[in-house]
Structures are given as structure tokens and as C-alpha cells.
């Protein structure tokens, strides 16, 4: 081999070895300067008994003071805490096999964590994890945050802390974490912007009012690939302030199971709601409603689409009301004037309610003189058990959702009761388009399949009852 070629080969070998060394040095540098703050290094015992609140908070404080990083709850450990405060640029990482456990002692929960915004519910003011005016933080990991909110610890005498409350925060990420056993709601997000939630699981059955994700006056919200098993509404969109709209929300690829409502939009509704998309979700074993959409505190609600949904054992797949009622803690005593509720599309929905009773229907209800407007209901398969009687079929004295009917509480289906329609009942509406709706009634039912009462411009095309097309004229 010539000397020049030999030198060239040796040079390449040296360069390759040098590159390898540089890679190793780079990895060493990253590890040496990575900002991980293990709570054990800050004094946490992590034995599942000792209260490690101060250690966890010290790790959070050190993390944010040094420009941000990761506060680590190590795998295989159980760390018990009272109220902690998240800070700027902090990622709370609960490792696989780790548990961040709420203290069973109400005295370990602080009093400076804002409040629950619904009226008559101050017992839910405290919370386990709190953030106010914080930017760019995250909660992640394949471990578990356990609120330990069992009724033997938290009840009407002690108060029931929520698991999380975030106020005026921005750029928030929550990924892959499991959230279980809150004493009240799992989370309340107030006036936050840029929220991304992916792959989390919520199980909230240990106490009452166990909501999942409640977004109050939030914008730019994305929730995907999550599962919910709740004792109350799984996801809520609401607005407790007329200056804080709830808008630009996308929810996809989620599974809902709950004692009450899969998704509730409204109720607490002083602010406006706009631009909501829900797609590719399943709902099962829900006692009240799949989509519960209610406008009653003076805001405007518009421009929403719901598509590619599958439901089983969900009595009211869609339950919409437009009325007046006070819901928020800060709502004035006088009722706000009713603005508008319009522009909704529901498409590609399959509902199997054959295991339920006759109180299974799509219910849309405005108020006399205050219509719900511009509704499209398209490509629906609805399977029900039947059971409606001749008396049910002739029922005309249905309660309206007036203040006299509501008597200070929420517009629930029970205030109306069994409907004179076996499939769809709409009243006080304008510009309704129903197309390709397939209703299958398994048993006998004396009721009409669809009733449009006080509906202006109601268009029904391709409506089928047990496979046979019916001609409906409004």
C-alpha cells in the first residue's frame, strides 16, 4: 500500500474515534447539566406515610429558580403531600410505578388556592395542586396522582378538595398521567390559554361531583387519546366571566364513562362559547347525557361540530337547552337577557340504547321566543327499546325550562320526563335540518318517532323507522 493511501486510512480511523469520543462527551455533558430535581434529594422520605409536602415544594422552587427543568417523583415510591404550588418552566414527572398521594388530613390543604366557581359549593374551594399566573409547566409520566379523596377522609364536615386548580396560566401540557380518587373535581382550569392534554386516564368514583376536566373561560384547548370514568361530568366547557370566553377547543379520540354527563357545555355561561370540535369518541354507561349543551347565563354559544361518535347505554345522546338560570358563584341575582344559541352540526353518530327504558331520546329545547337556531342532525343510527304508551303519545303538557320550573336549580331532563316521541323531540327551534336518520325501536311503542314543536323551517329528509322511510311534515 502506498504511503499516501495509508496516511489517509489512518486519518479516517482517527477521525472516527474522535467523533465517537465527542459523542460520549456530549452525552456526559447533557447528563451532567440536565436539570432533574429528585424529591428524595430534597428530603422526601417517599414511604407512603410521611408527609413530604415541604420536600416536593422545595424541589419545585429550586427547579423554577434555576430556569426550569423536571421535578421527579421516582418510580416505586409513594410520596404523600398536601397542597403544592406549580411554578414557571416546571415539569412534574411522576415515573412509572410512582404515586403522588394526597394527604387524608384536610388541614394539609391551603386556603389560598382561589375557589370553586359554582354557587353553593364552597366546600370544594381547597385543592391539592395549584398554579396561578404560571407559564409553561407540565404534568407527565406513566405514574399516578391519587387524590386519596375517599368519603371516610373528606365529607360535608371537612370539605372536599379538588385535585388540581389552575388560574390564569398559559402553555400547559399534561401527558400520559393517571389521575384517580379526587375528593371533588379532578381539575378546574380557569381562564387559561394554550392547553394540551394527551393520553391521560381519569378514574373519579371515590366521592361525589367527581368531574374530570373542567375548562372555564379557556382558549386553545386540545384534549386527545384520553379515557374517563367519573362520578359526574367527564369534560366541562364553561365560562364564569363575561369577559372570558371559552373557545377554540378540540376533543378527539376519547372514551367516556360516567355516572352523569359525558360532555357538558355551558350551564355556567356568562361568557361566550365558540368554535368547538368533538370527534372520534365513544360514550358508554352514562346515566344522564352524552352531549349536554346548556346556555343560560347570558352568553352566546355558536359554531360547534360533533362527528364520528359511538354511544351505548346513554339515555340522552344529545340534550340541548336554552333558558335562564344562575349557576356561578359570582353571577348577579338578576337574570341576564338571552342572546343566542346557534350553528351546531351532529353527524355520523351510532347510539345503542336497547338495554335502557323508554326515556331515551334526542332532546332539544329552547324557550318560547328564544329559539335554538341552525341545527344539522345527519347520518344517525339510533336503537331504542321502546315501551312508550298511548298516554305517553298524547302528552302535551311538558314542562318548559322556565324559572318557575327550574326553582333555582339546573335544567335537567327529569323536569320534563317521558317524551311523546320515541326518537327525537325538538321545540322552540329555527332552521333545523335532519337527514338520513335511522331509528330502530325493538319493542312496541305508541309514540311518534319524531316531533318538532314550534320549529320554524324544520326540514326532515330520509327519516327511517325500523327500516321503512317515513314522510314527516313539520
**For 254-301, how does the pLDDT look when each residue is reduced to its tens digit (9 = 90+)?**
999 999 999 999 999 999 999 999 999 999 999 999 999 999 999 999
- Summarize pLDDT for 168-218 with one digit per residue, the tens: 999 999 999 999 999 999 999 999 999 999 999 999 999 999 999 999 999
Say what the pLDDT of residue 11 is: 54
Return the domain boundaries, the chain.
Answer: 1-34, 35-232, 255-474
User: 161 CB contacts (<8 Å, ≥6 apart)?
Assistant: 83, 102, 106, 109, 124, 126, 127, 128, 147, 149, 154, 182, 183, 184
To 10 degrees, the CA torsion angle through 74, 77, 82, 83? 20
Q: Give the model's pLDDT for residue 473.
A: 78
pLDDT at position 24 is: 41
Q: What is the pLDDT of residues 417-429, one digit of tens each?
A: 999 999 999 999 9
Q: What is the mean pLDDT of residues 82-95?
A: 98
- Residues with Cβ < 8 Å from 230, sequence gap 6 or more? 186, 202, 204, 205, 210, 211, 212, 257, 258, 259, 260
CA 445 – CA 385 distance, rounded (Å): 9
Residue 167 has pLDDT above 80, yes or no: yes
Domain 35-232 maps to which CATH number in 3.40.50.11540, 2.160.20.10, 3.40.50.10070, 3.10.20.70? 2.160.20.10
Q: Write out the three cell numbers for 370.
A: 328564544
- The residues near 213 (Cβ < 8 Å, ≥ 6 apart) are 186, 187, 189, 197, 202, 223, 234, 235, 236
| pLDDT at position 333 | 86
Q: Would you say residue 130 has pLDDT above 60?
A: yes
**Cell digits for 266?**
355551558
**How far is the C-alpha of 280 from the C-alpha of 122, rounded, in Å?**
36
pLDDT in tens, 413-465: 999 999 999 999 999 999 999 999 999 999 999 999 999 999 999 999 999 99
Decide if pLDDT at 319 tops 50: yes
pLDDT > 70 in the chain, percent: 93
pLDDT at 31 over 70: no
Q: How many CB atoms lie within 10 A of CB 33?
A: 7
Between strands 448-465 and 468-470, the pairing is antiparallel
Q: What is the pTM of this model?
A: 0.92
Give the residue among 311, 200, 326 at the shortest CA–CA distance from 263: 311
Torsion region of 54: left, alpha or beta (phi above 0 gives left; psi -120 to 50 gives alpha): alpha
* Percentage of residues in the chain having pLDDT higher than 90: 90
* 5 pLDDT higher than 90: no
Is residue 466 predicted with pLDDT exceeding 50? yes
Query: Rounded distance, CA 155 to CA 152, Å?
Result: 7
> Residues 336, 309: contact at Cβ < 8 Å?
no
Residue 21: what pLDDT? Answer: 41
- pLDDT of 28 over the 50 cut: no
Question: 99 near 147, Cβ under 8 Å?
Answer: no
Rg (CA), the chain: 27
Strand, helix or coil for residue 180: strand
Range from 33-37, 239-243, 248-252, 469-473 carrying the lowest mean pLDDT: 33-37
pLDDT of residue 8: 46
**Residue 12, pLDDT above cutoff 60:** no
Mean pLDDT, the chain, whole residue set: 94
Instruction: Determine if residue 426 is left, alpha or beta; phi over 0 gives left, psi from -120 to 50 gives alpha, anything else beta.
Output: beta
pLDDT of residue 34: 52
CA angle, 120 as apex, 117 and 123 as ends, to 5°? Answer: 80
Q: Which conformational region is residue 234 in: left (phi greater than 0), alpha (psi within -120 to 50 degrees), or beta?
A: alpha
Amino acid at each position: 500500500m502506498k504511503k499516501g493511501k495509508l496516511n489517509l486510512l489512518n486519518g479516517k480511523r482517527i477521525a472516527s474515534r474522535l467523533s465517537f469520543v465527542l459523542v460520549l462527551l456530549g452525552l456526559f455533558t447533557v447528563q451532567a447539566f440536565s436539570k432533574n430535581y429528585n424529591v428524595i434529594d430534597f428530603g422526601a422520605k417517599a414511604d407512603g406515610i410521611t408527609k413530604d409536602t415541604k420536600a416536593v415544594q422545595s424541589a419545585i422552587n429550586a427547579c423554577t429558580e434555576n430556569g426550569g427543568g423536571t421535578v421527579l417523583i421516582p418510580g416505586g415510591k409513594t410520596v404523600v403531600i398536601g397542597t403544592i404550588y406549580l411554578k414557571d418552566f416546571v415539569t412534574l414527572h411522576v415515573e412509572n410505578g410512582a404515586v403522588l398521594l394526597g394527604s387524608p388530613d384536610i388541614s394539609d390543604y391551603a386556603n389560598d388556592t382561589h375557589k370553586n366557581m359554582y354557587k353553593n359549593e364552597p366546600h370544594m374551594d381547597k385543592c391539592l395542586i395549584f398554579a396561578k399566573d404560571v407559564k409553561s409547566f407540565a404534568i407527565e409520566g406513566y405514574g399516578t396522582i391519587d387524590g386519596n379523596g375517599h368519603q371516610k377522609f373528606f365529607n360535608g364536615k371537612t370539605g372536599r378538595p379538588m385535585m388540581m386548580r389552575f388560574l390564569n396560566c398559559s402553555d400547559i401540557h399534561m401527558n400520559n398521567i393517571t389521575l384517580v380518587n379526587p375528593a371533588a373535581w379532578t381539575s378546574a382550569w380557569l381562564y387559561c390559554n394554550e392547553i394540551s392534554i394527551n393520553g391521560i386516564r381519569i378514574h373519579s368514583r371515590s366521592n361525589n361531583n367527581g368531574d374530570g376536566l373542567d375548562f372555564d373561560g379557556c382558549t386553545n384547548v386540545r384534549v386527545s387519546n384520553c379515557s374517563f370514568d367519573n362520578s359526574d361530568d367527564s369534560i366541562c366547557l364553561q365560562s364564569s366571566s363575561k369577559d372570558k370566553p371559552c373557545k377554540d377547543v378540540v376533543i378527539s379520540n376519547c372514551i367516556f364513562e360516567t355516572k352523569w354527563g359525558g360532555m357538558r357545555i355551558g350551564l355556567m355561561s356568562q361568557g361566550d362559547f365558540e368554535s368547538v370540535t368533538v370527534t372520534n369518541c365513544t360514550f358508554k354507561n352514562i346515566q344522564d347525557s352524552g352531549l349536554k349543551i346548556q346556555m343560560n347565563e347570558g352568553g352566546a354559544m355558536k359554531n360547534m361540530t360533533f362527528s364520528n361518535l359511538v354511544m351505548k347505554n346513554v339515555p340522552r345522546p344529545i340534550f340541548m337547552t336554552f333558558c335562564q338560570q344562575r349557576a356561578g358563584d359570582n353571577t348577579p341575582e338578576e337574570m341576564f337577557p338571552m342572546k343566542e344559541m346557534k350553528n351546531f352540526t351532529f353527524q355520523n353518530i351510532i347510539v345503542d340504547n336497547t338495554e335502557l327504558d323508554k326515556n331515551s331520546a334526542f332532546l332539544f329545547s329552547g324557550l318560547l321566543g328564544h329559539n335554538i337556531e341552525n341545527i344539522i342532525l345527519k347520518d344517525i343510527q339510533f336503537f331504542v327499546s321502546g315501551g312508550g304508551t298511548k298516554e305517553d303519545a298524547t302528552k302535551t303538557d311538558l314542562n318548559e325550562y322556565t324559572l318557575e320550573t327550574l326553582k333555582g336549580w339546573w335544567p335537567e331532563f327529569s323536569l320534563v320526563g317521558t317524551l311523546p316521541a320515541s326518537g327525537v323531540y325538538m321545540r322552540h327551534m329555527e332552521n333545523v335540518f335532519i337527514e338520513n336518520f335511522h331509528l330502530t325501536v325493538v319493542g312496541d311503542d305508541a309514540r311518534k318517532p319524531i316531533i318538532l314543536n314550534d320549529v320554524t323551517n324544520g326540514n326532515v329528509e330520509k327519516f327511517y323507522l325500523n327500516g321503512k322511510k317515513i314522510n314527516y311534515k313539520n
